[in-house]
């Protein structure tokens, strides 16, 4: 299979009577985005913005890793590029964000990885602005966790996705970069620390 052939709806089974929707071996649920936005806001109010960021980063990471492991085993992709590129396709089709990859280069033997692109219609940025207004830092925490997990699973080593622009900061689009954790500077340290034990699972 090629990444461009993947259609989530073709393999998503709707349990209209038993209340269980399944995508291969994973149960999938659909929530109202406004309700998740409110939950997210209450989390920020309850534990503070830094801890909320860490928890949502971890939530996204666990989601991304579960999706990656499922896709890796459930489909026979033609090339490694297809396995990497289907991550953005799945995240888009899940209704989380429209992912527009721009540059992708990697060498798994050398541990080299660089991937950047844009996010359009991030539900997380949208909800953050509704509840908090514009922030002075990127706010698509769960999305960054998701991409970090997918690409760490792909590489078999810890890589981190961080936003360089974010709609939650007033930018017109979210822009992101993914690269190995040791290639990031001090600004990345809180994110790496929050994911430290989860990185051990990839």
Binding site for Zn ion (CB under 5 A): 122, 125, 140, 166, 174
How far apart CA 156 and CA 130 sit, in angstroms, is: 37
How far apart CA 35 and CA 169 sit, in angstroms, is: 22
Please state the closest distance from residue 75 (CB atom) to Zn ion, in A.
29
- If the CB atoms of residues 122 and 142 are measured against Zn ion, the closer one turns out to be 122
How far apart CA 136 and CA 168 sit, in angstroms, is: 8
How far apart CA 110 and CA 169 sit, in angstroms, is: 35
- If the CB atoms of residues 82 and 175 are measured against Zn ion, the closer one turns out to be 175
CA 129, 133, 136, 141 dihedral sign is negative
The tokens describing 39, both together, are 């939950």
Please state the closest distance from residue 109 (CB atom) to Zn ion, in A.
33
- If the CB atoms of residues 71 and 194 are measured against Zn ion, the closer one turns out to be 194
- If the CB atoms of residues 134 and 157 are measured against Zn ion, the closer one turns out to be 134
């Amino acid at each position: 299979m090629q990444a461009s052939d993947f259609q989530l709806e073709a393999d998503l089974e709707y349990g209209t009577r038993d209340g269980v929707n399944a995508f291969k071996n994973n149960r999938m649920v659909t929530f109202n985005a406004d309700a998740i936005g409110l939950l997210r806001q209450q989390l920020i109010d309850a534990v503070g913005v830094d801890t909320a960021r860490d928890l949502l980063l971890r939530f996204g990471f666990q989601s991304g890793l579960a999706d990656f492991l499922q896709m890796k085993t459930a489909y026979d992709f033609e090339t490694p590029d297809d396995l990497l590129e289907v991550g953005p396709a799945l995240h888009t089709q899940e209704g989380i964000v429209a992912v527009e990859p721009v540059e992708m280069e990697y060498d798994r033997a050398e541990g080299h990885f660089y991937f950047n692109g844009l996010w359009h219609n991030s539900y997380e940025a949208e909800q953050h602005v509704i509840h908090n207004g514009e922030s002075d830092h990127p706010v698509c925490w769960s999305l960054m966790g998701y991409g970090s997990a997918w690409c760490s699973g792909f590489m078999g080593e810890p890589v981190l996705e961080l936003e360089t622009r974010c709609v939650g900061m007033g930018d017109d689009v979210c822009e992101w970069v993914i690269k190995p954790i040791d290639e990031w500077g001090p600004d990345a340290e809180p994110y790496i620390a929050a994911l430290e034990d989860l990185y051990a699972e990839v």
